Each structure stands twice: as structure tokens, then as C-alpha cells.
Amino acid sequence: MENSFKQNVFLASPNGLNDLALEIFYFQAKYNPVYSKFLQLIDIRPETILSVEDIPYLPVEFFKGHCVSCQPVDDQTNVFTSSSTTGVGVSRHYITDLDLYDISSTKSFEFQFGAVEDYTFRFLLPSYLERNGSSLVYMAQHFLRKSGKGGFYLNDFDKLAEDIIRDKKNGNKVMLLGVSFALMDFAEKYPMDLSNLIIMETGGMKGRRREMTRGELHSFLKQKWNANQIASEYGMTELLSQAYSIRDGIFKCPPWMKISIGQTTDPFGLEKIGKTGTIKIMDLANINSCCFISTSDLGRVYEDGSFEVLGRFDNSDVRGCNLLTPAPFDK
């Protein structure tokens, strides 16, 4: 069953994705013990769910302390873990099929940026490189294997600047992707003209700098590097797919990933288009864990399916790739 889902997720038409989402829901409701128990606790019988809009979303916090998987796992199972910046617990995503993550992360990227092989990647990911189990580092390593061009720099700003200057001279198509605090540190030490590079931030200060809004961060980087736009990535340990923003913090999902907005006063209610609420994510690549995840991120969705991330609800721990301190939002 999982193999048939895997074949169809990335090929289905938009209408077919709705049918596929329901099929996967019934499968996960039966074979994922944690999701099955959650449905029992909220008094939902799977057979009563007849439309995608009615599928219940599992709170992302269940990935802390529970094995959210449709398959048995053991000590040999690959596990992606969150950084748990605030020390309130680590999320664990058990990956029984790494090939699925390779496909999904590649196609998510190429949906907006084109072939991975076309890029020279310069990765500035301290804090992620300094621990084990980062899904972002795994994805970056996968991109480097496919591209064959680029590398990781940790804190070696001098080498990074040297390589970027050479890239500019050689006319390479370069993406500089980094965690926010490291990009700021690098920009302060090496302000220069990077207008011909794609600069992408993954969010998060990891306690290294004061938290700021995405707008503040982008303005700072644009000024230091003479950049017209700053791209962003929205992903997390609990997902196998990523949404990307080319500019202005407006994210787009690949076809098999969809964002809806929940009401802050009702965990099962949905907000209208353009209204602010909690972000709910359908990621059909999560075949072997759970495709339907409710987060504590605040956002809004627009008519074309694009979305903004506006902050975090309450005092939830800052985790995953890309969430900065909340900007004011409309209720």
C-alpha cells in the first residue's frame, strides 16, 4: 500500500490529490497507532470522514514523546530530530524510507527554483551542523550530492567569501542558504554586492542574536548585500516536504502539500481565506508517519494557496526551519 501511495503522491492531478489524501487518511487511521488513538480520543470514526476538509490534524507536539509511525521502528531506523532550542522536548520523526525524503525535498525545491543540478550551493548552517539528526543538513547533503558543486562552511566566513567572489567571477548560479543568525554575522563581516546570488534564510536565531521579524532580517541582508530580494524556506522536522518563498515572505507549496488555517479558539474549526490563525499542514509525502499536522505557527492563506507565516501562538517553543519572532497580525 505504501509503495502505491509513494508512486502516486508526486504524479496525481490536483483533483486526484484529494482522493489520494482520503485514501492515505484511512490508511494512517488504521496503521498509525498514535494517530488512531488521537482519533479515538476526539471521538472521530475514520469511516465518517468523507471529504479532505473534515480530516482531523494531529497536533505536532505528538512527535515529542511518541513514535508517530505506520511501521515498526527499531534502533536501525533513521530519525530526524528537532533542535529544541528552549529545552522543552525534542521532536522525533522516524524515517522508514529515506528515498521518499530525497524525492520530496528535491521536487519541493525544484517546484520553485528549477533543477538542483544547476546550482552551486553555499551552506551556512552552524547549530544544525553541530548536532546529529538534522533533516535540514541531510537535505543540504543530498542537494550537494546531486549538484556536485558547493559545500558547508560552519563558521569559516573567510573561505565562504573567497568562494563567493570566485563564483561571481566565473558566473556560477549560486544559492547561499543559511540560518538567520549566521547570515547576519557573515553580512556584518563581509558586506558586498551579492545581487546576482539567491540568498535564502531558514529562520531562527537559536539564541545567538535577538529575535526579529522576517521583514527586519530581510531589510538588513538586502542593505548589506545590495540584494533585491531574500528567499525563505518553511520546513520542519516533522515534514518531508518544504514550502519556499522567493521574496516578501509569501510561501508556495508543492502540489502534494497544502496549508489551511485553524481557528485559535477552536482546535477543529477552520478560518476563512485571508484570516489569521494556526497553520495546519497536509504533507502527502509523510506516508509512513502522519500527513495531517496541526502546528502552533500563526499564518494566513490567500486565494491562490500561497501563505504567510506571522509568528507563533502563545509561548510555543521555536523549532524547525523558519520561524522568526511574530510581527503584529490581524485577528
- Tell me the pLDDT tens digit for each residue of 255-303: 999 999 999 888 888 999 999 999 999 999 999 999 999 999 999 999 9
Distant-in-sequence, close-in-space partners of 170: CB < 8 Å, separation ≥ 6: none
pTM score, two decimals?
0.91
CA geometry: angle 260, 60, 201, nearest 5 deg: 75
Q: Is the pLDDT of residue 199 over 60?
A: yes
CB-count exposure of residue 187 (10 Å: 0-12, 13-18, 19+):
buried
Is residue 76 a contact partner of residue 98, using CB atoms and an 8 Å limit? Answer: no
pLDDT at position 15 is: 82
Side-chain-side CA neighbours of 35 within 13 Å: the count stands at: 28
Separation of CA 317 from chain center? 16
1-9: average pLDDT? 79
- Tell me the pLDDT tens digit for each residue of 240-249: 999 999 998 9
pLDDT at position 207 is: 60
Is the alpha carbon torsion for 237, 238, 242, 246 positive or negative?
negative
Is residue 108 a contact partner of residue 81, using CB atoms and an 8 Å limit? Answer: no
Number of H helices, E strands in the chain: 8, 14
Q: Which of 98, 100, 82, 101 is closest to 90 using CA atoms?
A: 82
Distant-in-sequence, close-in-space partners of 43: CB < 8 Å, separation ≥ 6: none
β-pair type (257-262, 251-252): unpaired
Distant-in-sequence, close-in-space partners of 72: CB < 8 Å, separation ≥ 6: none
